[in-house]
């Protein structure tokens, strides 16, 4: 009988509540701002690209530092790092809540909060592995995964309500109080866990190379809407200096530089192992098929989830004219169905293997996004999207409640922090790339659609088309979030109505373009899931006979 079996039930399951609450606020902060973007853009006098950087940089900080956070937890104590992370997270949240410009918001929400989250997130999964075994672990991961998925959808609802009723700043102020609960709960309920076999060393070179690679790639993708995907729309400007790469945009250049840094990271990690030093990531971890296939499946489906949560608020606000709260309310079918589907799916584990349940969930997400894309049009009602949102929520519930257990059960408790860090890094890379790729494509498609719509209009006089197209295209941030285009002069009502119809159609079509990409990611994730092992008992690897 293991020690976990003798643990006080109140402390045992109370620790699950604390760890799940930590995961919830970390993930909620990745979607909290999505429905409040229009308000924040106007209040901080900025644009959509800058705010997109705030959202993406938070996920990017997590992606860059979560492995490091897991490694530090292994070496110095996972509970200890969880508590330190919660305190740093609270500091970042407070600074974000009092920010007066987008730079201050970036530092508070994306950087400082991100560092705190990078310490907390891997600790949550590794502490679950250390404190739960057998069926208890399956239940714990099912609830933990359900919280992860539900938090992604609850974020917009919470953010919308706070923005409409109070201020978007309260989304961050609440984190300060939640972090205090986490610290007290961890001190009382959570047992310490650490790797006692290794010396406390940290691979700084690995941290720098992996971080630089990820930042460069995401930077290139986000800036594609400004500088172009391949051919340069304009010279790249950095600290007041202009740089030209022949006819190339900064996008392929930055992505290539990022790929070089990641290749150097792999070389560096191999070098560390050959010199008998502790690498940031043990490359042998990726030889574990169960772990690797689970991590990649989660990363790719995160692209779809983030893209969906980023795109739909633009449709609700830009086309349907909803405020932040009603936008969050429109996404409620997704969050409710996910919240209930995740724990319910655990009951199916008696009859089906985790692999089949995950694949069923992925198949539902593909069908759901197709249904959502078909339902979107300028004349569509919010209720027309409810079926697709419910279906997507159920699908993600099945995926989230089993994928982490399947992935992390493949490693030993000693590797838990490192494996959890790598797994969550994959999730955050998916999230950051999802918002970067789909956000950039949506913005590019919107600009192109507006220009095409104005040029083909029979209502707008030909002599004014270029001027109006240029003015409207320059205000895509305002158009995306229902503010309409400000032309600065008196425009006949007939032309104003035509421009509104054109921008509504352009926005709906741009969202459909973004969802088409999300469908592709979901299908790719389903294909990758074929590599998951079809085992029934995750801790023993017992084959799934009869399934």
**pLDDT value at position 112?**
93
401 or 526, greater pLDDT: 526
Q: How far is residue 439's CA from residue 476's CA, in Å, rounded to a whole number?
A: 12
pLDDT in the model for residue 194: 64
Predicted pLDDT at 240: 64
Tokens of 273: 């192992």
Alpha helices in 275-412 (DSSP H): 289-318, 324-330, 332-347, 354-375, 386-408
> Percent of the chain beyond pLDDT 90?
14
Beta-bridged to residue 542, according to DSSP, are 537
Instruction: Pick 446 or 12 by higher pLDDT.
Output: 446
- Secondary structure class of 484 (helix, strand, coil): coil
Give SS3 for 458. Answer: coil
Q: Dump pLDDT digits (tens) for 158-199.
A: 877 888 888 888 888 888 888 888 888 888 877 776 665 555
What Rg, from alpha-carbon coordinates, does the chain have?
23
Confidence at 107, pLDDT banded by 50, 70, 90:
very high
pLDDT digits over 323-369, tens only?
778 888 888 888 788 878 877 887 787 788 888 999 999 999 999 99
pLDDT of residue 281: 79
Q: How many CB atoms lie within 10 A of CB 41?
A: 20
Using 50, 70 and 90 to split pLDDT, how confident is the model at 261? very high
Look at residue 128 and tell me whether its pLDDT is greater than 80: no
Closest by CA position to 393, among listed 72, 159, 157:
157
pLDDT at 316 over 80: yes
303 burial type by CB count under 10 A (0-12 exposed, 13-18 middle, 19+ buried): buried
Which residue from 60, 75, 427, 494 is spatially nearest to 258, judged by alpha carbons? 60
- Per-residue pLDDT at 130 exceeds 60: yes
Asked whether 254 and 177 are in contact (CB, 8 A), the reply is: no
pLDDT tens profile 215-257: 888 788 777 767 777 888 777 776 667 777 788 888 888 889 9
Per-residue DSSP letters for 397-443?
HHHHHHHHHHHHTTS-GGGHHHHHHHHHHHHHHHHHHHHHHHHHHHH
Of residues 405 and 333, the one with the higher pLDDT is 333
**What secondary structure letter does DSSP report for 245?**
B
Q: What pLDDT is attached to residue 440?
A: 78
Average pLDDT over all residues of the chain: 80
Joined tokens for residue 188: 């009382």
Give the pLDDT confidence score for residue 478 in this predicted structure.
52
* Angle at the Cα of 103 from the Cα atoms of 101 and 108, rounded to 5 degrees: 100
- CA–centroid distance for 233 within its chain: 29
Domain boundaries, the chain: 8-202+280-446+510-543, 203-279, 447-509
Q: How far is CA 249 from the centre of its chain?
A: 26
Q: Is the pLDDT of residue 546 over 80?
A: no
Could you tell me the CATH superfamily of domain 8-202+280-446+510-543? MFS general substrate transporter like domains (1.20.1250.20)
């Amino acid at each position: 009988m293991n020690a976990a079996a003798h643990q006080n039930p109140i402390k045992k399951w109370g620790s699950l509540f604390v760890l799940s609450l930590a995961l919830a606020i970390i993930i909620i902060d990745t979607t909290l701002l999505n429905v409040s973007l229009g308000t924040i853009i106007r209040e901080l006098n900025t644009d959509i690209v800058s705010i997109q950087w705030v959202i993406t940089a938070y996920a990017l900080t997590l992606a860059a530092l979560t492995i490091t956070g897991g490694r530090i937890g292994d070496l110095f104590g996972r509970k200890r790092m969880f508590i330190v992370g919660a305190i740093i997270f609270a500091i970042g949240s407070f600074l974000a809540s009092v920010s007066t410009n987008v730079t201050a918001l970036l530092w508070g929400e994306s950087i400082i909060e991100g560092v705190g989250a990078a310490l907390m997130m891997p600790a949550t999964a590794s502490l679950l592995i250390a404190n739960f075994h057998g069926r208890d672990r399956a239940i714990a991961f099912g609830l933990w995964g359900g919280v992860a998925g539900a938090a992604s959808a609850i974020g917009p609802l919470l953010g919308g309500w706070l923005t409409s009723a109070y201020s978007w700043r309260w989304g961050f102020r609440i984190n300060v109080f939640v972090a205090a609960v986490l610290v007290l709960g961890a001190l009382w309920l959570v047992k310490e866990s650490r790797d006692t076999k290794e010396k406390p060393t940290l691979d700084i070179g690995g941290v720098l190379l992996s971080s630089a690679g990820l930042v460069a790639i995401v930077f290139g993708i986000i800036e594609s809407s400004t500088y172009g995907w391949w051919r340069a729309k304009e010279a790249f400007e950095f600290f007041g200096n202009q740089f030209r790469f022949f006819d190339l945009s900064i996008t392929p250049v930055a992505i290539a530089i990022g790929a070089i840094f990641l290749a150097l990271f792999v070389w560096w990690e191999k070098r560390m192992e050959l010199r008998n030093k502790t690498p940031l990531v043990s490359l042998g971890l990726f030889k574990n098929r169960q772990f690797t296939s689970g991590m990649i499946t989660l990363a790719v489906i995160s692209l779809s989830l983030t893209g969906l949560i980023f795109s739909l608020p633009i449709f609700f606000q830009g086309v349907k004219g909803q405020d932040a709260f009603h936008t969050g309310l429109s996404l409620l079918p997704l969050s409710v169905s996910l919240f209930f589907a995740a724990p319910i799916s655990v009951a199916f584990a008696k009859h089906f293997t985790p692999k089949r349940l995950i694949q069923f969930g992925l198949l539902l997400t593909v069908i759901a996004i197709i249904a959502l894309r078909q339902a979107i049009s300028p004349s569509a009602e919010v209720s027309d999207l409810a079926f697709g949102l419910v279906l997507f929520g159920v699908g993600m519930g099945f995926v989230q409640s089993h994928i982490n257990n399947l992935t992390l059960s493949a490693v030993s408790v000693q590797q838990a922090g490192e494996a959890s860090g790598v797994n969550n890094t994959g999730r955050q890379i998916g999230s950051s790339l999802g918002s970067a790729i789909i956000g950039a494509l949506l913005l590019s498609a919107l600009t192109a659609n507006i220009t095409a719509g104005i040029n083909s209009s029979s209502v707008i006089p030909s002599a004014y088309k270029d001027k109006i197209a240029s003015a409207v295209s320059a205000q895509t941030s305002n158009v995306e979030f229902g503010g309409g285009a400000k032309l600065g002069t008196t425009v006949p009502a007939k032309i104003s109505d035509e421009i509104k119809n054109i921008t509504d159609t352009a926005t709906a079509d741009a969202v459909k373009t973004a969802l088409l990409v999300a469908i592709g990611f979901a299908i790719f994730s389903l294909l990758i899931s074929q590599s998951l092992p079809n085992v029934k008992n995750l801790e023993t690897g017992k084959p799934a006979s009869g399934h």
